[in-house]
């Protein structure tokens, strides 16, 4: 019935990435690695991550009529993402300046460029694309008024997933449409403002009270906490133990995997458990879109982990005897 499992409405950026030993202090200059340019942007990343896993995904975004825009379109097409909704022109393609340190952590500054020109009118003009998608997801690298229009334009029965990144306080109308709202600690604190306490369980309760039908809080290596407002249930979902090389875009892969699997009928905890494995696999490789695994690679990674864990437990038992 639907042409797409997931329609991602969001940003597309050229990621200009430099590896650094440490980030410069204010007024300081440090030397880094050679510059690498990767296709990125939270929206484009989600669309590619879902397609790599086997989802039929499409992207509604805006890029510039320039080399970076072509790089991004090429990456979407190579992954099998539907690009009929990618608009071209109006401003240069968005750019993200990214530093990655030896632990794999990153810092990012985004120049939105064409992303800031994805307008409410562009959403209204994309009615047939919205009708064709089972699940729609977005983030906040496009204007908030465009996200508001998206929520208003959603066909009845379409599931809406929001990762409010970079975070800002959200209007009730957007919060009420989220199923789920996907946040990390920083995003949870920003959305909650003064109401933020100190525990993930407290954030989940407080976020649900703002209107979303469900909430997922990502906790990095500690996995995720999921809370379903309709059922009144919550659960902790573990992650895999991996050696991180580059965390860039891992959250986007998590959200894409979650949104896709929810659309396939999984419950929140099942979908988040799969998404946590996808995100963990992505951090073991450099870049954003280039790091995203296929469903087969996620299964292999999970099987290797289970074998390692069984071996560790056997050694522990042997030592104890």
Residue 288 is a binding residue for ligand RIB (CB under 6 A): yes
Q: Which of 7, 50, 96, 278 binds ligand RIB (CB under 6 A)?
A: 96
Residue 203 Cβ vs ligand RIB, minimum distance, rounded to whole Å: 20
Residue 45 is a binding residue for ligand RIB (CB under 6 A): yes
Residue 86 Cβ vs ligand RIB, minimum distance, rounded to whole Å: 15
CA 229/CA 178 separation, integer angstroms: 11
Assess whether 228 carries a catalytic annotation. Answer: no
Residue 248 is a binding residue for ligand RIB (CB under 6 A): yes
Residue 42 is a binding residue for ligand RIB (CB under 6 A): yes
SS3 312: helix
Residue 309 Cβ vs ligand RIB, minimum distance, rounded to whole Å: 29
Residue 28, classified by CB atoms within 10 Å of its CB into exposed (0-12), middle (13-18) or buried (19+), is: exposed
What is the token pair recorded at 132? 């064709």
Residue 252 is a binding residue for ligand RIB (CB under 6 A): yes
Residue 13 is a binding residue for ligand RIB (CB under 6 A): yes
Q: Which of 20, 88, 108, 235 binds ligand RIB (CB under 6 A)?
A: 108
Part in contact with ligand RIB (CB under 6 A); list of ranges 65-73, 130-138, 173-181, 244-252: 244-252
Q: DSSP class of residue 132?
A: T
Residue 225 Cβ vs ligand RIB, minimum distance, rounded to whole Å: 20
Residue 246 Cβ vs ligand RIB, minimum distance, rounded to whole Å: 10
What is the token pair recorded at 113? 């460029």
Residue 105 neighbours by CB under 8 Å, 6+ apart: 244, 247
Residue 249 is a binding residue for ligand RIB (CB under 6 A): yes
Residue 131, classified by CB atoms within 10 Å of its CB into exposed (0-12), middle (13-18) or buried (19+), is: middle
Of 38 and 159, nearer to ligand RIB (C-beta) is: 38
Residue 246 is a binding residue for ligand RIB (CB under 6 A): no
Residue 146 is a binding residue for ligand RIB (CB under 6 A): no
The answer to whether the beta carbons of residues 14 and 39 sit under 8 Å apart is yes
Q: Which of 5, 122, 141, 149 binds ligand RIB (CB under 6 A)?
A: 141
The answer to whether the beta carbons of residues 149 and 120 sit under 8 Å apart is yes
Residue 43, classified by CB atoms within 10 Å of its CB into exposed (0-12), middle (13-18) or buried (19+), is: buried
- From the list 15, 179, 228, 252, the catalytic residue is 252
Of 55 and 110, nearer to ligand RIB (C-beta) is: 110
The answer to whether the beta carbons of residues 41 and 8 sit under 8 Å apart is no
In 259-274, which positions are buried (b, 16+ CB within 10 angstroms) versus exposed (e)?
Answer: bbbbbeebebbbbbbb
Part in contact with ligand RIB (CB under 6 A); list of ranges 7-15, 25-33, 219-227, 306-314: 7-15
Measured in whole angstroms, the distance separating CA 164 from the mean position of its chain's CA atoms is: 10
Residues 56-75 close enough to bind ligand RIB by CB under 6 A = none
Total residues contacting ligand RIB by CB under 6 A comes to: 16
Measured in whole angstroms, the distance separating CA 193 from the mean position of its chain's CA atoms is: 22
CA 9/CA 47 separation, integer angstroms: 9
Residue 222 Cβ vs ligand RIB, minimum distance, rounded to whole Å: 19
The residue written with tokens 């996808």 in the block is: 278
Catalytic amino acids?
252
- The residues binding ligand RIB (CB under 6 A) are 11, 13, 15, 40-42, 45, 96, 108, 110, 141, 248-249, 251-252, 288
């Amino acid at each position: 019935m639907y042409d797409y499992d997931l329609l991602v409405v969001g940003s597309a950026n050229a990621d200009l990435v430099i590896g650094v030993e440490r980030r410069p202090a204010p007024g300081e200059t440090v030397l880094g690695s050679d510059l690498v340019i990767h296709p990125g942007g939270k929206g484009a990343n989600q669309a590619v991550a879902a397609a790599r896993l086997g989802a039929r995904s499409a992207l509604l975004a805006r890029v510039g009529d320039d080399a970076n825009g072509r790089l991004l379109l090429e990456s979407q097409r190579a992954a099998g993402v539907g690009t009929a909704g990618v608009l071209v022109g109006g401003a240069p393609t968005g750019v993200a300046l990214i530093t990655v340190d030896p632990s794999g952590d990153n810092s990012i500054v985004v120049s939105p460029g064409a992303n800031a020109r994805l307008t409410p009118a562009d959403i209204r003009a994309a009615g047939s694309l919205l009708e064709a998608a089972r699940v729609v997801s977005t983030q906040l690298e496009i204007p908030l008024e465009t996200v508001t229009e998206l929520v208003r334009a959603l066909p009845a029965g379409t599931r809406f997933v929001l990762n409010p990144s970079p975070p800002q306080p959200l209007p009730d109308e957007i919060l009420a449409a989220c199923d789920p709202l996907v946040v990390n600690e920083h995003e949870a604190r920003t959305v909650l403002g003064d109401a933020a306490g100190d525990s993930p369980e407290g954030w989940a309760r407080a976020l649900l009270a703002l209107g979303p039908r469900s909430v997922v809080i990502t906790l990095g290596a500690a996995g995720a906490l999921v809370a379903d407002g309709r059922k009144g249930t919550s659960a902790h979902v573990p992650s895999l133990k991996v050696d991180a090389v580059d965390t860039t875009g891992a959250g986007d892969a998590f959200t894409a995997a979650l949104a896709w699997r929810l659309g396939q009928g999984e419950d929140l905890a099942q979908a988040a458990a799969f998404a946590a494995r996808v995100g963990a696999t992505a951090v073991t490789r450099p870049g954003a879109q280039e790091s995203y695994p296929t469903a087969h690679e996620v299964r292999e990674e999970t099987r290797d982990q289970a074998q390692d864990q069984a071996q560790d437990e056997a050694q522990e038992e042997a030592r104890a005897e």
